[in-house]
Amino acid sequence: MLRLLARRLALGVLTVILVSVIIFAGVEVLPGDACTAYLERDAEGPILEACQERLGLDRPAYIRYFEWIGAAVSGDLGMSVGGNQSVAELVGDRLANSLILAAAAIVTGVPLAIFLGAVTGLWRDRPIDLVVSTTAIFAMTVPEFVTATVLILIFSVWLGLLPGIVLTPPDAPVAEFFPEILLPVIVLAMVMTAHILRMVRSSVISVMSGEYVQMAVLKGVPYWQIVFRHAIPNALLPAINVVALTIAWLLGGVVVIEVVFNYPGLGRMMVDSIADQDLPTVQAIALIVATVYVGVNLAADILTMFANPRLRTQLMR
């Protein structure tokens, strides 16, 4: 049991280490470095060399990698090139904002998706299924920025109910993002609900037509007891991983949404830092996103193991 957890954890750490190497190498092969970005047009000859020497950029890549990763583990992500501010501080605020956005989308989206998935699965091919499923396909296929723009048009321009863009500064307390955060949350929740709901729907359909549900009917078990005891718990198992992927996608920074709504999250910061050639920040964000991705998927796998009696008993052995 512990061994298996340790094994999965070790694999996760290994993945993050590999990703960090790739990030570092990727940034390394880009033309230019922190000094060329900082000095801009002056980046030439002795000035550049002096700068590189001051920042230690003249040393071999592997030494700088270990320095970077060592510092990152202790929470020091270096200094931002432009503002001479600590990357950890900058990124910290943005990460918190992204987490708030993601959490709000998850809290609304996941229960809604499971509920609608079960409803459409149980009333398959009835009017309610057709309406919800068609809407879901729309939500999945129409690009988020189109949905976002349409919602801004309806709710802020025409109805004037909600603000269309976020003007709150990144380091403001959570409460101040309300009600500006509502529209981005709605768009994100729509997309993720659509994905998860379709998975839950097909899973419910296959479980409900399965042999053990038929057996429960022939045992005289009342319909709703069959749904809640026999069908739903088994139908949700395959949904766990889809939920995890969706959550990872959310936390990984939803660039388009953040840009459309001017939301000060990680994704927008990533785009801005790339434009500014702020390499330490780019590296830091990429590393955080990768860690979150690995972490969420690991959590989902472990949850699946505990939720599925088949896997759980294997673990306990």
Partner 1 sequence: MNNSPLLQIDRISIGFRASTGQILPVLRDVSLQLSRGQSLGIVGESGSGKSTVVLAAMGFLKHGLQLISGSVSFDGNNMFELSGKELEKLRGGKIALIPQNSGQSLTPSLKIGTQLTEVLKLHTGLSNDQYMDRIIELLGLVRLPDPEAIAKRYPHELSGGQQQRAAIAMALAGDADVLLLDEPTTGLDVTTQAHILELLRDLSIERNMAMAYVSHDLGAIARVCDNVMVMYAGEAILEGSTRQVLTSPFHPYARGLLASIPKLNDPRLPVALDGRPPAPGLAGEGCAFVSRCAIASDRCHREHPEMQATPGGTLRCHHYKDSERISITGTGAQPARAQATDQMSLVLDSLSISYHIPSFFDSLFGAKQEIPNTVDDISVKVTKGETLGLVGESGSGKSTILKTVAGLLPLRSGSVKTGDGKELPPRVEHRESRQLQSIQLIFQNPDESLNPRHTVAQILGQPLGLYFGLRGKEGEARSIEILRRVRLGGHYMDRLPSQLSGGEKQRVAIARAFAANPELVLCDEITSALDVSVQAAVIDLLNELKKEHGTNFIFVSHDLAVVRALSDRVAVLYQGRLCEIGPSDQVYALPSHPYTEVLLGAVLEPDPDVAPKLLAEDVVELSPPARGCPFQRRCPRRLGSVCDNQEPPWQQSEDRHFIRCHIPIEELHGAQVEDAA
- Provide the binding-site residues for partner 1, judged by CB under 8 A: 3, 7, 10, 209-212, 214-223, 225, 229-230, 233-234, 308-310, 313
Nearer to partner 1 (CB atom), residue 74 or residue 313: 313
Side-chain-side CA neighbours of residue 230 (13 Å): 22
Evaluate whether 42 touches 288 at the Cβ level (below 8 Å). Answer: no
Smallest separation (angstroms) from partner 1 to the CB of 6: 9
Smallest separation (angstroms) from partner 1 to the CB of 307: 8
3 state DSSP class of 79: strand
User: How many residues can be counted in the chain?
Assistant: 317
Smallest separation (angstroms) from partner 1 to the CB of 112: 23
* Residues forming beta bridges with residue 86, ordered by sequence position: 79
Side-chain-side CA neighbours of residue 83 (13 Å): 9
Residue whose token pair is 């950029």: 57
Nearer to partner 1 (CB atom), residue 178 or residue 212: 212
Nearer to partner 1 (CB atom), residue 2 or residue 159: 2
Nearer to partner 1 (CB atom), residue 64 or residue 124: 124
Smallest separation (angstroms) from partner 1 to the CB of 219: 4
* C-alpha span between 180 and 170 (Å, rounded): 13
- Secondary structure (DSSP) of 251-263: HT--HHHHHHTT-
Q: Which two tokens stand for residue 124?
A: 């398959």
Smallest separation (angstroms) from partner 1 to the CB of 14: 11
